[in-house]
Amino acid sequence: MSEDPGVLRRHLDRERRARQAAETIAEEKTREAFQANESLKRLNEDLERQVAERTAELRAARDEAVAAQKELQRSNAELENFAYSVSHDLREPLRMVHSYLELIRHRANADLPPQVADYLDRAIHTTERMQGMVRGLLEYARVTTHGSPPAPVSADACVKAAVENLELGLEEARVSITRDPLPAVCADSEQLARLFQNLISNAVKYRHPGRRPAIHVAARKRDDGMASFRVSDNGRGLAAEDKERAFQLFQRPGDNTAIDGTGIGLAVCKRMVERHGGSIDVESTPGEGATFCFTLPLAEGDAAEGGSAAG
């Protein structure tokens, strides 16, 4: 400590000013902290409001999407019912037209000038084609309007049923069919049999002229709960640019002048597979054969086992 009162007084004065400065700074900091806190609060409120707004917007958008989806489902169903009733109701008058034309041919054939007889033949043939188309359309519409709910079913049994239905044709063409053990899937069993039947009959229909038809059916269990099936043949195959069209209704790409058909089979297959949540595709080397691959959900028990069925 100093003895000099002047020194002490100045020291005291400095200390006092330092304290005032400290207080001013402390006050300033407190105000800053308060304001920072206030603006944080505002920011927070702002954010909460924005989140609420955004949530409301999203909810409204979702409701709208759900409504649109429902509307789409409704109009789809309406269209399917319409296609079904139209094709259903067209059958009868078409059958009548066909019958009368046949009757005319039967009764008057000998008296008809050759040109008119030719027109009549063409009219009858066209009517038959139309009947085939209407039948196909009806079958196509029925996939969704008249399907049974999917249930566990043995794919083996469905292939067997398909082969039995085709028996005559298969024997005639001396077809060899082999199959691996197939898993159980969750499907409409009638439709699954129909699916195999369409694919196998195509394999025979579009066979290679120089080979005895051989068909093999294989399947593999996938990790995602789906079974993937492969129906392979050694037929004429199809060109890459025809693959997509082959699955479209009434489309018959390729040279089919000598082969009857309406272009319905694969469209029905695709619709059935998609109705079960699967997809269908074709791999082919033209001239060597084609392999149709499709997926279907595995039945509960078979899915749990995992791994692969023989394949």
| Residues at the interface with Mg ion (CB under 5 A) | 202, 265
Q: Does 17 bind another protein (CB under 8 A)?
A: yes
Rounded CA gap, 205 and 203, in Å?
6
SS3 sequence of the chain: CCCCHHHHHHHHHHHHHHHHHHHHHHHHHHHHHHHHHHHHHHHHHHHHHHHHHHHHHHHHHHHHHHHHHHHHHHHHHHHHHHHHHHHHHHHHHHHHHHHHHHHHHHHHHHHCCHHHHHHHHHHHHHHHHHHHHHHHHHHHHHHHHCCCCCEEEEHHHHHHHHHHHHHHHHHHCCCEEEECCCCEEEECHHHHHHHHHHHHHHHHHCCCCCCCCEEEEEEEECCCCEEEEEEEECCCCCCHHHHHHHCCCCCCCCCCCCCCCCCCHHHHHHHHHHHCCCCEEEEEECCCEEEEEEEEEECHHHHHHCCCCCC
8 binds another protein (CB under 8 A): yes
Q: Which stretch binds another protein (CB under 8 A): 15-23, 126-134, 146-154, 156-164?
A: 15-23
Q: Of the two residues 22 and 259, which places its CB atom closer to another protein in the complex? A: 22
Candidates 3-11, 91-99, 116-124, 289-297; binding stretch for another protein (CB under 8 A): 3-11
Does the protein bind another protein through residue 67 (CB under 8 A)?
no
Q: Which amino acid is at 214?
A: A
Q: How far is the CB of 109 from ligand ATP (least distance, A)?
A: 30
Neighbours of 32 (CB within 10 A): 10
Contact set with ligand ATP (CB under 6 A): 136, 198, 202-203, 205-206, 233, 235-238, 246, 252-254, 256, 261-267, 290
Nearer to another protein, 16 or 146 (CB): 16
- Least Å distance, CB 26 to another protein, is 6
Contact between 309 and 218 (Cβ < 8 Å): no
Asked if 108 is part of the footprint of another protein (rule: CB under 8 A), the reply reads: no
Contact between 257 and another protein per CB under 8 A: no
Sheet holding 214-221, edge to edge: 176-179, 214-221, 226-233, 289-297, 280-285
Binding positions for another protein, 194-213, rule CB under 8 A: none
Q: How far is the CB of 208 from ligand ATP (least distance, A)?
A: 9
Shortest distance in whole angstroms from residue 43 CB to another protein = 20
40's contact among Mg ion, another protein, ligand ATP, none, with CB below 5 to 8 A by partner kind, is none
Which of 127, 197 has the CB closer to Mg ion? 197
In the complex with ligand ATP, the residue whose CB is nearer, 150 or 263, is 263
The residue written with tokens 């080397």 in the block is: 285
Q: How many CA atoms lie within 13 A of 168 on its CB side?
A: 0
1, 168, 258, 304: residue in contact with another protein (rule CB under 8 A): 1
In whole angstroms, the minimum distance from the beta carbon of 39 to another protein comes to 17
Whole-number minimum distance, CB 242 to ligand ATP, in Å?
Answer: 7
Which of Mg ion, ligand ATP, another protein, none does residue 7 bind to, with CB < 5 to 8 Å depending on kind?
another protein
**Binder among 18, 33, 51, 310 for another protein (CB under 8 A):** 18
Site for another protein in 19-58 (CB under 8 A): 19, 21-22, 25-26, 29
For binding to another protein (CB under 8 A), which residues are involved? 1-2, 4, 7-8, 10-11, 13-19, 21-22, 25-26, 29
